[in-house]
Structure 1
């Protein structure tokens, strides 16, 4: 793809994302810079800026979202995010820090929701691992495609966190309540074939190259349709779930601001740093 020609509204100093365009199709690539395109502060800041800028460009009629390297994303970059959250997560955190943490959660939610809120269709092309925050992001896309090596995990429960960035609110309409509850309560990994069977992805392709080709072709097919009508279709479809998703996001952000700090969360973080299995006590 050729580099975007209309970059006035897209930041030119991006760190976590790369934007390219070919014709009426824009391609946004996760860059990390952490391993596995893990999502750190730069990602959460840049994601809504990029997607709102692309949505405002009338020349962009469809967007492909993918990851650089072998993986879509390992999810939240815990080492990068946790230091700034330490004051929120202490056992003696009072109303002030918890209110600040509520605002932080809702800011991250807004970043993910930018994919769903814009009227330009978004196709997520997933290779390799798509974990935690990666699932939140692709859940906010309109269409999901995968290569045969893709693996998916709503893994927050395994690190003592209630997923709060959209997967619990959006995946039910995509895969059904039963599959969502299984994924969210177990934190298990599923492969691309299972993801296709339950409707998490529409199609599975042999490798990353064929996946990206298919995603670009689908985006081009969408872009050939009347752009105002395409935007209208997405807006009307989104209205079917908008109020329920927004209410769910507000509820989980309030819940986590109140209940996320725990001994189990501290144990999960410590176990992650020490590369061992956690031992949860329910405290």
Structure 2
């Protein structure tokens, strides 16, 4: 197993789910194509074996370079699983609230997601290509499995012809897991923030707005359409082809 740079206690993912069952163009997305997750680099050996035995063939790591360097690939590096590092943010600070606001508003999060689609369109297009061509299931993850992972899940579902309602419902399924997610990511994210010189006490004071988190995904989809017409337009300009979308839809319904 890849040796981590900090002492990590392996743990089971708390925000892992197969996207199977979501309604898409032509039917329902099948199980075993795409899984979204919180950090897969710090899972247990048993979890890694279970994923591989369940058909996992590829992992897309959406974390920053700093995050990936901190923990490495984890136990999945010991298995015949393809690894693709496609960071959607240049740095952790790029995903923080502007101006040091003590409250993260969901509209602001949605605005950030829309910018992420635009700025990281090449990475997202590559991710969809990987899912389309993988010989088995592809799992994609960031740290919490909510923001960056939620953006990739959304563009995948858009490419598969899912409705906004289905996309937003999937995004919101993370909400009940947030307490467990924060507890699970505390050791790694705490160490990373300290190394980067962030004020951890100040960060602890930042809270999430009590408004429904669905607002963030509503906002992302609305902003992309306001600016581009088609929410997938940034990815199409970055190389997402009709052939890749056709292959995704073929695999999703097989």
Instruction: Please give the TM-score of this superposition, normalised by the length of structure 1.
Output: 0.29
Larger Rg: 1
Instruction: Please give the TM-score of this superposition, normalised by the length of structure 2.
Output: 0.32
- Larger RCO (alpha carbons 8 Å, 6+ apart): 2
